[in-house]
Amino acid sequence: DAKTTQPTSMDCAEGRAANLPCNHSTISGNEYVYWYRQIHSQGPQYIIHGLKNNETNEMASLIITEDRKSSTLILPHATLRDTAVYYCIVRVSGGGADGLTFGKGTHLIIQP
């Protein structure tokens, strides 16, 4: 699986959009970009994933650059409950029994 690089931590004001970057310059053509988050003392939670098109769901939007070497997770209106560690993971299609390899992630702190 391709490696990812994320900032260690970020701050965002409550109510503003939180934009979390992820670099994955060695991503392969068949690898997806997944985002998970882990709120303190809880299990990781799936947010969104995509291959090359931008994706949006009720939690967030995922913007993938045209060359697929980086992506941005956008939380449109951050709340205090969005404070968590956010993991960007790239791997081949979700089929198969392989698990996900988690890096260090970005600790996002939402400020009141």
Partner 1 sequence: DTAVSQTPKYLVTQMGNDKSIKCEQNLGHDTMYWYKQDSKKFLKIMFSYNNKELIINETVPNRFSPKSPDKAHLNLHINSLELGDSAVYFCASKWRGGPGELFFGEGSRLTVL
Shortest CB 58 distance to partner 1, Å: 14
Under rule CB under 8 A, residue 91 binds partner 1: yes
Among 30, 42, 66, 112, binds partner 1 (CB under 8 A): 42
Sole binder of partner 1 in the list 19, 23, 38, 61 (CB under 8 A): 38
Question: Residues 87, 91, 97, CA angle at the centre, nearest 5°?
Answer: 105
- Spell out where 1-112 has E strands: 9-13, 18-23, 31-38, 45-50, 55-56, 61-64, 70-75, 84-92, 106-111
30 lies in the binding site for partner 1 (CB under 8 A): no
Residues that bind partner 1 (CB under 8 A): 32, 34, 36, 38, 41-46, 49, 85, 87, 91, 93-102, 104
